[in-house]
Amino acid sequence: MAEYTSGSSDLNCTTTKLAEELGLEHKQVVGKLRKYAGKTWSSGEGKGQKGMLFRKNPLKLHRFSFMYNDKGSREAVYVFNKSHYHECMNKEMKYMDKVSEAAADRMRNNPKMKRKK
């Protein structure tokens, strides 16, 4: 892969390379990166605001080329900064820990279901 710079961010990794490293399908990796880039954010109120966490410092994704998957359909290959990807991943993990801890506190303080004997 040819590494290049665009503006101030170094784009040093592709989605195909990351999918290979993680052992995931390319489509799954692209979905997560689009979330980190804020592309899945919904302007509506309530549900569907995935990616809202990454609105202030979104991951910069640039379409690099296209590839054909096993089923013959065309998928876009993106390039991005891998260190910024790791920052977004850590931010998401901290947020998920915070949310699960808040949910556990709510259940401890106000259990809605009786335990089975």
Q: What is the pLDDT of residue 36?
A: 86
Q: State the virtual CA torsion across 103, 88, 57, 75 in degrees, nearest 10.
A: -110
Mutual orientation of helices 82-109 and 26-36 as an angle, nearest 10°? 80
Overall pTM > 0.75 = no
Tokens of 105: 């506190």
Sequence spans of domains, the chain: 4-109
Tokens of 65: 């080329």
Span 24-29, average pLDDT: 90
CA–CA distance, 43 with 33 (Å, rounded to integer): 19
Which residues, 6+ apart, have CB-to-CB distance to 116 below 8 Å? none
